[in-house]
A and B are shown apart, each in its own frame.
Chain A
Amino acid sequence: MHPSASAEPTVSTDSGERGGTAGDAPGVPFSGRSPGRGAVPLCAALLALLLVSVVVAIGLGTAVITPGDTARYLWAALSGEEIGASEATAYRIVWEIRTPRVLLAALVGAGLSTIGVAIQAMVRNALADPYVLGVSSGASVGAVGVTVTGGLAGLGVYAVSAGAFLGALTASALVYAASVSRGRLSPLRLILTGVAMALGFQAVMSVIIYLIPNSEATSTILYWTMGSFGAATWAALPAVAVAVLVGTAVLNRCSRALDVMALGDESAASLGIDPDRHRKGLLVLVSLVTGAMVAVSGAISFVGLVMPHLVRMVVGSTHARVLAVSPLAGAVFMVWVDLVARTLVAPRELPLGVITALIGVPVFVTLMRRRAYMFGAR
């Protein structure tokens, strides 16, 4: 991890462990690959795996439906084909309950991984995750605030989600206002302010729980801090789908700028990339997408932290590749995590944060012990 330890002759191990370069003959001066092209086969494989995972996950649950039947029901729903009366219940489980849930898991998994990549580039810190700007605790406060006060009642069933979204954006706006200085946005100041702000919001939550011993408020807080897709409906999908897909597309378009930002602010300026302007843009994008996700699923830890590192270990650091692979890898991972969460101790459900932590902690520790993987020399 330290520069002084880096001079050891670990050449072959290093290049061998980067999937993106493993296939190239050593000693060729310049591969000149298009930045994103090396990841195409991996993306295709992950996309196929995602489709299979989605179908399998839709079929599994208290009532097990075979992948063949699942696929037939999905096709029927999409094409408008008739389903026999004997299968009506199974069809409804598949289409009305499980499909939106699994799709939401895939979307949020994709979004968290992608935003994790963006936020690590924005604050230039390996430990950053999408919630580092206090977004999740802000969302919890917003949701609880709506639950307790009955505000936003005009929005009906979406009131709590809307409250969470507003809370998330408020948190980001506060972090921005507190960390911007003379028009400049220092990465370190940003992350420190975010951490402090998150602690502040948690204190507010504790006060609410303490003063209003209302079981509904307490369970709302638990839901938003641990994360769940239990409330997934078709109606909740479009907003988060747009946020995640647009966010991912925008980030993919500016992958080169993210590469340049990782070279340091001064180098970025000398290459024509204004680091402050890009950080401000990223902050807006990251806040909106994370807010949209938190509003429907709560805060699911570790995915946005670990997945970017795992992807970099496989495809190297170039953002064109990382941003192509991350959403797919995150989606596959989250579909399976959600499946475990709802089937392991059925009919009860485990909070998603528990599963991701159980997987994420050992993975992260192992990863940090690997000397071949580096994020900054610090």
Chain B
Amino acid sequence: MDLTLDRLSVVTDGKKLLSDLSLTVADGRCVGLIGPNGSGKSTALKCIYRALRPSSGTVRLGEEELSRLSMRRSAQLVAALVQDGEIDLDFTVEEVVALGRTPHARGNQAPSSRERGLCEQAMRQVDIGHLARRGVLTLSGGERQRVLVARALVQEPTILVLDEPTNHLDVRHQVELLSLLRGTGLTTLVVLHDLNLAAAACDRLGVLSEGRLVATGTPEKILTTELVHDVFGVRTTVVSHPLTGDPQLLYSLDPPAPNGSDTPCPSYGD
């Protein structure tokens, strides 16, 4: 199922958080949203998982307009990993994961054996099976993040939106999570801060800056020294991954040149 954002704008308190964002994630593809802090990435995702109503523009799931669907129906199609995953009560890990079935459940019915299997499988996939009986509030940030991923997986969505899924994760779990997401075959829109992981995990990238989409394309086309410098204000060297061929960025901690910071330093060029 395609996910389409059509001229999406969000204005809050007179401030334009998102301007005319149009973006399509083709069925089964993974698109990464990158951009500096405050560029509107999370705002765009919130419009898709309905934590925020766009001021104008539409979100479409396949042919259907999101705003015409009930919250329950859209939650059956779209699962989200939210950034602000604060939990009030000390549920056990398996209880939180099982709550992912909420959009499919009627009332307080017990989970079916298929649903129990689904929860078990999701917990194994993100490596939290051994934490099933732990209280979520006793977990580390990375463990809790994986619990939230498992909850999104048991939702059995066709579309997955993830806001910085690798947050708090150690490097092994970052790599495992992104390869897991690639393997699901779901239509995925993911916000990532790590540009190298984004290049490795995503089919296409969209670059947001100050609420506007400034570029879209394959990672090879997007991750250039010039674009990264213009959007993020850092100087990088782009190399090709020796095994996969994905573009990878090497950062330099040198302070930017005092004058003419727009001119890339020759040594960092191609």
- Say yes or no for B241: interface residue by CB 8 A criterion: no
- Say yes or no for B140: interface residue by CB 8 A criterion: yes
Closest to B93 in A: A30
- Contacting B71 at CB < 8 Å: which of A3, A10, A272? A272
- Say yes or no for A262: interface residue by CB 8 A criterion: yes
In whole Å, how far is B244's beta carbon from the nearest beta carbon of chain A? 32
Contact status A272-B89, CB under 8 Å: no
Chain B residues, CB < 8 A from A256: 99, 102, 105, 107-108
In whole Å, how far is B88's beta carbon from the nearest beta carbon of chain A? 4
Contact status B85-A263, CB under 8 Å: yes
- Say yes or no for B173: interface residue by CB 8 A criterion: no
- Contacting B107 at CB < 8 Å: which of A21, A253, A317? A253
Give the contact stretch, choosing among B56-64, B74-82, B213-221. Answer: B74-82
- Say yes or no for B86: interface residue by CB 8 A criterion: yes
Question: Within A228-259, which residues are at the interface with B (CB < 8 Å)?
Answer: 252-253, 255-256, 259
Chain A residues, CB < 8 A from B98: 32
Q: How far is the CA of A37 from the CA of B109 in the complex (A)?
A: 11
**3 A-B pairs with the lowest CB-CB distances in the bound complex, closest first:** A272-B75, A34-B110, A270-B80
Chain A residues, CB < 8 A from B139: 6
Contact status A270-B49, CB under 8 Å: yes
Q: How far is the CA of A75 from the CA of B80 in the complex (A)?
A: 58
Closest to B105 in A: A256
- Say yes or no for B134: interface residue by CB 8 A criterion: yes
Contact status B79-A270, CB under 8 Å: yes
- Contacting A269 at CB < 8 Å: which of B49, B105, B134, B138? B49
In whole Å, how far is B145's beta carbon from the nearest beta carbon of chain A? 13
Contact status B116-A30, CB under 8 Å: yes
Chain B residues, CB < 8 A from A320: 108
Give the contact stretch, choosing among A43-51, A151-159, A200-208, A368-376. Answer: A368-376
Contact status B82-A262, CB under 8 Å: no
Q: How far is the CA of A373 from the CA of B88 in the complex (A)?
A: 12
Contact status A375-B89, CB under 8 Å: yes
Known pairs A6-B138, A7-B138, A262-B87. 11 more at Cβ < 8 A? A6-B140, A11-B138, A18-B135, A32-B98, A32-B116, A34-B111, A259-B91, A271-B155, A272-B74, A317-B95, A318-B91
- Contacting B51 at CB < 8 Å: which of A6, A265, A317, A374? A265
Closest to B115 in A: A32
Q: How far is the CA of A375 from the CA of B91 in the complex (A)?
A: 10
Contact status B108-A317, CB under 8 Å: no
Closest to B76 in A: A272
Chain B residues, CB < 8 A from A255: 108
In whole Å, how far is B75's beta carbon from the nearest beta carbon of chain A? 3
Contact status A262-B88, CB under 8 Å: yes
Question: Within B87-128, which residues are at the interface with A (CB < 8 Å)?
Answer: 87-92, 94-96, 98-100, 102-103, 105, 107-111, 113, 115-116, 119-120, 123-124
